Structure 1
Amino acid sequence: MHQLLKKLNYKDQSPVLLLNLPPELADFEKYVQTVTEVVHSLDEVEKPQFALFFVTQLQEIEHIAQALQGRLEGDVILWFVYPKGTSKRYKCNFNRDTGWASLGSLRLESVRMVAVNEDWSALRMRRVEYIKVLTRKFGTLSEEGKEKLKS
């Protein structure tokens, strides 16, 4: 299995949604296509189970959050992949700690971060009901996440 897929907790979900994949990751996409079906738009999958959303603008996160309303079931694996602060090729108007508020309405919380390459970091968002222990003291996005911190 491709090392990146392994880091991203891929477990045979199909299809894999790759939204706005940058050109330098074309080889990664080719590998994924040997393992499962790949789609490139939320319009192509009713209930995504495994997705990588490459985003560089806050508006993209907000648009994706709106498009996902009512479409998440089970313990979906959603990764928001954004430029590292040190990237020389890409810039964005948010960071690891800011810009994710619109995902709170989906009951999503950030649970893990991995490096994709020298330019991109991936932040996993998970539905609160599937998080056993929420340990962060700040940056909770959803009301359910805030309640979970209290208990």
Structure 2
Amino acid sequence: MHQLLKKLNYKDQSPILLLNLPPELAAFEKYVQTVTKVVHNLDEVEKPQFALFFVTQLQEIEHIAQALQGRLEGDTILWFVYPKGTSKRYKCNFNRDTGWASLGSLGLEGVRMVAVNEDWSALRMRRVEYIKVLTRKFGTLSEEGKVKSEK
């Protein structure tokens, strides 16, 4: 299995949604296509199980959050892949700590960070009901997360 898929907790979910994949990751996509079906548009999958959203603008996150409304079921694996602050090729108008509020309205919290390559980092967003322990009191995005972090 591709090392990146391992890091991203891929467990045979199908299809994998790859949104806005940059050209330098074409080899990764080619590998994924040998493992499972790949779709490139949220409209192609009713209830996504595994998704990588490559984003560089806050508006993209907000648009995806709106599109996901009512479509999350179970312990969906959602990765938001965004430019590292040190990237020389890509820039974005948010960072690891800011810009994710629209996902909180879906009951999602950031739970894990993974380095994709020298330009991209990935943040896993998970539904609060599937997070065993949420100890972060500062920076919770969702009402559910705020309640859970106070327990």
When normalised by structure 2's length, the TM-score is 0.99
Q: CA deviation digits over 1:67-125, x for unaligned, max 9? A: 00000000000000000000000000000000000001110000000000000000000
**Distance in structure 2 (CA, Å) of the matches to 1:121 and 1:137:** 23
| Deviation string, structure 1 residues 31-72 (Cα, Å, up to 9, x no partner) | 000000000000100000000000000000000000000000
Q: Distance in 2 between matches of 1:66 and 1:110?
A: 17
The alignment's C-alpha RMSD in Å is 0.4
Partner of 2:142: 142
**How much identity, in percent, do the aligned residues show?**
93
Name structure 2 gaps, 5 residues minimum.
none
Partner of 1:61, secondary structure, is: helix
Counterpart for residue 72 of structure 1: 72
Distance 2:10 2:34 in 1: 14
| 8 Å contact from structure 2 (residues 137, 146) kept in 1 | no
Aligned equivalent of 1:6: 6
Partners of 1:14 and 1:135 in 2: how far apart?
Answer: 32
Do the aligned partners of 2:137 and 2:150 also contact (CA within 8 Å) in 1? no
- SS of equivalent residue, structure 2 residue 105: helix
The alpha carbon displacement at 1:137 in A equals 2.3
Runs of 4+ in 1 over 6 A off after TM superposition: none
> For residues 75 and 149 of structure 1, what CA distance do their matches in structure 2 show?
19
